[in-house]
Amino acid sequence: MEKENQNKSQSGSIVEENFPIGGMTCSGCANSVKRSLTKLEGVKSAEVNLSDASAKVAYDSNAVTPAQMQEAVETIGFKFDRRKS
């Protein structure tokens, strides 16, 4: 039974959140943001929406943090808002 709980908590660590992204002006910008996020270990998927300036990210909260995602995005010149959902 203990092993079942461990598996449940591991699968429960996948979080999906929307984060505002600032500074994108074209689809190339959105693609760059997506690449920077999906390169991070623990990020399962990232959908970047240019029209509403956001990124929908599914990630393993045990492997990567919003702060790490912010650093990756801001390193390439865009703003990443870690506001709480």
* 29 confidence band (pLDDT: 50, 70, 90): very high
- Model confidence at 16: pLDDT above 50: yes
Distance CA(39)–CA(47), nearest Å, equals 13
Helix segments in 12-45, DSSP class H = 27-38
Cα angle value 82/63/36 (rounded, 5°): 60
Q: How many angstroms from the chain centroid is the CA of residue 65?
A: 8
Taking only the tens place, the pLDDT of each residue in 30-83 is 999 999 999 999 999 999 999 999 999 999 999 999 999 999 999 999 999 987
Domain spans in the chain, listed from the N-terminal domain onward? 14-80
Distance CA(10)–CA(44), nearest Å, equals 14
Cα angle value 35/9/5 (rounded, 5°): 155
Q: What is the pLDDT of residue 83?
A: 74
* 85 confidence band (pLDDT: 50, 70, 90): very low
- Domain 14-80 class, CATH top level: alpha beta
Task: Report which of 6, 4, 8, 65 is spatially closest to residue 37, judged by C-alpha positions.
Answer: 65
